[in-house]
Structure 1
């Protein structure tokens, strides 16, 4: 966790060899080191062992409904925006066994699985031992997403024990963005492109030098653990010129944003326009596929399934990611509350940008742009907000959507 007393400590310098030493030092401390790597024509988060596993020389082209890897003119290690994966998959896994029940001679034996370990899925004892994660290359928007999920899972009376165990020992190496994507809008959400808190170490990759040298990083420590690890690595001191160059990288990225979202009074705007005709327009395009919720780094909706073996001697409860776009998600005794794509999209967007503030004191959007990039029909959350803002107070004629004018088919706003 970040401590402000370390966040402004004198920056240091690491080169590519130093970054490999950092990765290896974390592995030696029993961390599972995860970072960006190229797989299946995308930049995804996976196990890494050195800088050789990072996406050197790659960047990504992103637009509504489009994602493509492209070669850079240099060998930058972090010269891309974000891919389809988020760190959520490790802290809040898509499939998690909650508990198992077995018949024995005395009756039933109950075993809780509070922090699943996929590498040892058949071993219940291992399931209860959380992995220590070290995340390399966490962007500022993603740090904010992790902080939002901390509020969801750790704040309040009910704490998600599995999340708490995985989150407790996580070591985070942030990277300040040097390349904004075509669908990024973190600057307007005040969540990037510079990491300001929530990290143990933060890197800024400097542009290649005149002699072609690349892989130089200005490093800040953001926690006692980060400062301790940095002290054990061979590193240099950042010069004033290095620090100025790092600031210039972030400033340039802030000017590259592919999108913006005006957030002034946004919560009230959306909650006062639940019958706006724009909901019907976007509902006609939306496939209710749930891609936006799957790639979103903050969405947390889940469902549970109970399974038994064929012999009837063992049962388990499994939690899986779900989406407010699935018809069954809002199923009550009389059917689904939100029957139309219009109603489900409206629920997602208004919860993300308005209702979330009521629940958790913050917007649920960090401006990463994934929901825009990975929407098959290119629906743009910033465009939808701008359309409603342009004509506030407009209403869909009564009966125009599923017979009740609001798109859910049963008279609910």
Structure 2
């Protein structure tokens, strides 16, 4: 989601905005409230990412807050984009995506998961995964519906749910493994549950959902007639555990939209090339909305990502192995700092508990950390509704998708924290 400019001293760290902007709120107010950007008084704040980035810049801190890589992906993918531009692929792509990329997406799903979506009717290219999520939710939800997500949740989920006027219901992910309690998950469903929005591997916790949890989601979605929307952008970034697409489970395929993107896998987040796949009638509904959002985008980049999806298996195992090493470098510094460290099974985020340092307020520490040790992080409570914010009050998220030298320097700085507090 794009950062929003501040309209006053209030910021997105204010958890008092709650989960509703009121019955007379405009769509932008509902979106801002859903993303924890609007106070009860109507003051608009900035995203947590903008606040932490500003702090990092003003203090010279290493920014491990916002999750984007600090180096480019494979040279052959960049070369393919340059060649496509030179060859004239600079006008509108077909609304559902260039054929080569749709075919590459279908081949990717078959190669890694044994799935066989039809590239003509069951695959849609989008302007990043964020648009895929937005177009899908806007296609299927309306006021009075409920959308179930897991908490903590990526901020764009709350924004789009709010914009659509639906109710955002959450099922908590519980430390230390950040998986849901199955009884609590079941109680989160109701006859008004229209969509279950799953993020697996999960941002911000780094959890990878096992088959037992995914099977329960499918069972409950079928029981209540809900659509499953599965955000799987970190699918290739798992450590020692395989990624299991929920659509591959019995009873899931006919009700599931699966979303992914090039940004996380190939480290080209600025290209904004995403995609989704699912049953033809669901994809057609999403395409109807998507064509009036961006219609199409990134024509030469689409061709280049088609090349990337055909890279050998060694590339995919290599990016996961490299990230695991980076995770371990940062984890060592975080432990030396005195944090309780939750090692992630996937993504490029690692969460810590500030409580062992005697600090219960991660929001306050996030604001102080750049000045204390020269490292910026994101407090997990901003990804929650008020009850969840209290439950995660002492958690911080750090991104380790940075150069090894940067992470080594950050680890050394963090190791001094106990002496500086």
Both proteins in one fold, TM over 0.5: no
Q: TM-score w.r.t. structure 1 length? A: 0.32
Q: Which has the larger radius of gyration?
A: 1
The structure in which a higher percent of residues are strand is 1
